Structure 1
Amino acid sequence: MKATLHEELRFVRGAVLAKLDGLSEYDVRRPLTPTGTNLLGLVKHLATWEARYFGEVFDRPFPRPLPPRGTDLWATEHESRTEVVEFYRSVWAHTDATIEGLPLDAPGRVSWWRKPEVTLFGVLLHMITETTRHAGHADILRESIDGAVGVDGAAPPSKDAIARCAAIESAARAAQA
């Protein structure tokens, strides 16, 4: 079971990073929602919290300073895309070592949770859920930038998808009448 869960985490991490492929520096950083959500910020956010969950929680701190809370959802002009991606990949290595080195019932403590006592299983499940949730955000952001869809982030929408969107728009307009 641990191997299956770990593989799922690896898969969704890759899906998130793929959403950056082929985009300009501006497009990976620009805010695409009223709250400022952007692709590179999602990567930085996931890296930061994965480092906390698989580091601090299991007394295996990530070996370098993490962004202060509240600054993890966007990359400053001084942080390159390469730096943010390398940060995420280094977190992966640290997390992977924690997952491989501990049993699923290993105890941990999430001090910022209402019920702080956890196991590796619970944190792994939580991180898969969070990464998948943000992968969905990344899907929508990427599609809004250039129409690319799919797990690898590079496929243009099909003619069927474009026609379906037009039909959905027509139904929405008809419903408001």
Structure 2
Amino acid sequence: MATFKRFTNSLWFDTRAEEAANFYVGIFKNSSVGRIAHYTEAGKEIHGKEPGSVLTVEFELDGHRFLALNGGPIFKFNEAISFVVNCKDQEEIDYYWDKLKEGGDPKAQQCGWLKDKFGVSWQVSPIAIEEMAVDPDKEKVNRMMAALMQMKKLDLAELEKAFNGK
């Protein structure tokens, strides 16, 4: 995983970086855990971590590179940042929703958002919604958006019905 990529998403965990990387890699196809760096004696008075404990974990999810950092309890995830999982069909929506939600916040957020067991926010969404949302027929878009706003896990068939006025 040492090939150059312009952008890498960095996720700050307290102590569960390796667990999170393995969890995500187990969900997404074409994914892998890469290099793992460990804390050393240097800087221990600042970071407070035991030498040899995991510092960072590189991992890739379907070609998208991430870096998980065990940085301590200073920062927490919130909904201002999320990862969108674009899905081809309802089967994919159901799969990713169920897997990512496992052990996470039991209160699903609206419009396809969920929070996983590490506190990371995800949006599990059909790619068809992108085309529906920019359709020039504003009535179609309005009906679809009205249906969308009532959903937690997205139901593609219901969104399409609303869009088509059925």
Relative contact order higher in (CA < 8 Å, ≥ 6 apart)? 1
TM above 0.5: no
Structure having the higher helix fraction is 1
TM-score between both structures, scaled by the size of structure 2: 0.27
TM-score between both structures, scaled by the size of structure 1: 0.26
Structure having the higher strand fraction is 2
